[in-house]
Amino acid sequence: MKRTILITCFLFFGLVFKGIGQTVYSSDKGEKYHTADCRLSGDAEPLKLSAAKKAGKGACDICKPNDLGKAKLNQCSGKTADGTRCKRMTSNKNKKCYQHQ
């Protein structure tokens, strides 16, 4: 019984810390935060979800970064102009972000 309670606690706190440690993207002037492959992210810089919420930013209605854990994400398989692999994450079946479609 104690083991079950202990495992449940670890799982609960693991999910809480995963949400806090999630990386989202937002610009200094923007009011919303986005996923890496959102078409509205523009010149956004990466920051932690907790920092974005502390700054009073809201979730983008297009990319829905709060639903990130519900979809299986893959790193984009596209190549950048300098030949390195794209760092954006995507849930598209073709494993390519919006820019490399």
Residues 46-100 have pLDDT tens digits of 888 888 889 999 988 888 887 655 557 788 899 988 999 988 888 788 888 888 8
One domain for residues 14 and 34:
yes
> Is 63 strand, coil or helix?
coil
One domain for residues 37 and 79:
no
Does 20 score more than 70 pLDDT?
A: no
One domain for residues 16 and 32:
yes
Cα–Cα distance for residue pair 29/74, rounded to 1 Å = 29
Cα–Cα distance for residue pair 2/75, rounded to 1 Å = 39
Residue with tokens 């083991």: 3
One domain for residues 54 and 24:
yes
CB atoms within 10 A of CB 84: 8
One domain for residues 51 and 28:
yes
Q: Do residues 29 and 70 make contact, with C-beta atoms less than 8 angstroms apart?
A: no
Does 16 score more than 70 pLDDT?
A: no
Q: How many domains are there within the chain?
A: 2
Mean pLDDT over 20-49 rounds to 83
Mean pLDDT over 1-5 rounds to 72
Look up the pTM and report it: 0.51
Task: Report how far Cα 7 is from the mean position of its chain's Cα atoms.
Answer: 26
One domain for residues 41 and 15:
yes
